[in-house]
Amino acid sequence: MSDALRVAVVTGATSGIGKATVQALRSKGLTVYAVGRNEEALSELAATCGAQTIRADVRDTSAIVEALKGVEVDVLVNNAGILSTRAVFQEIDPAEIDAMIDVNLKAPMHLTRALLPGMVERRRGHLIFIGSIGGQSAFPNSSAYGASKAGLSLFCDNLRLDLLGSSVRVSEIVPGAWRHRSTAPLSRAIRQMPYSTMAIARSSRKILRR
Ligand SMILES: NC(=O)c1ccc[n+]([C@@H]2O[C@H](COP(=O)([O-])OP(=O)(O)OC[C@H]3O[C@@H](n4cnc5c(N)ncnc54)[C@H](OP(=O)(O)O)[C@@H]3O)[C@@H](O)[C@H]2O)c1
């Protein structure tokens, strides 16, 4: 891992891939700010791996930025994401459309917008986005989720162009499905795909090492 990258922020840090990413980055000696809403899970992360914690809704960019005042963030892992409903589009609650676009697409864009100027100025930074196979191909009952993740994917590609020559890197990790409560309604074949949270978290660590 590049010695220059010392401070990371990980959203969705209280569970799954985010929690494993915090542990993976802490094990490499980075100072890690773990963002989430679940206070108990945040306290556990602080106690077990020494993460700094920020209790905030990822949609509340200003609360997160305020908590990071004076911190030079080198790595932002935009991981928080929801698949809040699984139904054919004509049956989903319209509020779920907003929830998935807000958490999966708008929140990472706003947090990136807030933290990127410092990275560009310091000529040091790495933005990591946790996308989804659901943003690369069509799956049944996933239209709003898929659209949010497809948008995130194209955002990454465009951002990479904007940042050419800036020394700030952009990476998208595109997991398949791993065994988790949110994947329970998926088909057996998808649930048997051999991913683990730690394997996905190690991708972030490997990317930073390059
Ligand atoms: N599970 C899969 O099979 C799979 C497959 C492909 C891609 N992904 C993507 O991988 C990422 C992580 O998924 P996961 O399955 O590891 O997640 P998870 O275990 O369901 O955890 C979701 C995390 O996001 C946080 N979160 C959700 N809404 C939030 C909000 N409004 N504000 C702040 N934090 C919020 C939760 O924290 P709090 O509840 O503490 O706020 C939690 O830490 C997501 O972007 C997901 O789309 C997952």
**Is the shortest distance between the CB of 80 and ligand 1 below 6 Å?**
yes
Buried b (16+ CB within 10 A) or exposed e, 107-146: bbbbbbebbbebbeeeebbbbbbbbbbbbeeebebbbbbb
pLDDT at residue number 202: 76
Q: For the residues 122-148, what does the mean pLDDT come to?
A: 97
Q: For the residues 30-49, what does the mean pLDDT come to?
A: 98
In this prediction the pTM is 0.92
Band of residue 194 on the pLDDT scale cut at 50, 70, 90: very low
Band of residue 207 on the pLDDT scale cut at 50, 70, 90: confident
pLDDT at residue number 34: 98
pLDDT at residue number 114: 98
How far, in Å, is the centroid of ligand 1 from the Cα of 104? 9
CATH code for residues 7-209: 3.40.50.720
pLDDT at residue number 203: 74
**Is the shortest distance between the CB of 55 and ligand 1 below 6 Å?**
no
Radius of gyration in angstroms for the set of CA atoms belonging to the chain, rounded to a whole number: 16
CA–CA–CA angle 80, 85, 91 (5° rounding) = 145
How far, in Å, is the centroid of ligand 1 from the Cα of 10? 11
| pLDDT tens sequence across 78-125 | 999 999 888 999 999 999 999 999 999 999 999 999 999 999 999 999
145 a catalytic residue:
yes
Contact 63, 111 (CB under 8 A): no
**Is the shortest distance between the CB of 180 and ligand 1 below 6 Å?**
yes
Q: For helices 16-27 and 197-209, what crossing angle results, to 10°?
A: 40
pLDDT at residue number 198: 72
Helix, strand, or coil here: 154? helix
| pLDDT tens sequence across 10-20 | 999 999 999 99
Q: What is the phi/psi pair of residue 98, to 5°?
A: -65, -40
pLDDT at residue number 79: 98
Those residues with Cβ within 8 angstroms of residue 81's Cβ, 6 or more apart along the chain or in another chain: 12, 103, 104, 130, 132, 148, 149
Q: Which of 182, 186, 196 to mutate to test the pocket of ligand 1 (most atoms within 8 A of CB)?
A: 182
Residue among 33, 129, 145, 178 flagged as catalytic: 145
| pLDDT tens sequence across 162-189 | 999 999 999 999 999 765 555 555 555 4
pLDDT at residue number 199: 73
36 to 6, 10, 14, 61, 129: CA distances (angstroms):
21, 9, 6, 12, 16
Q: For the residues 67-79, what does the mean pLDDT come to?
A: 98
pLDDT at residue number 201: 77
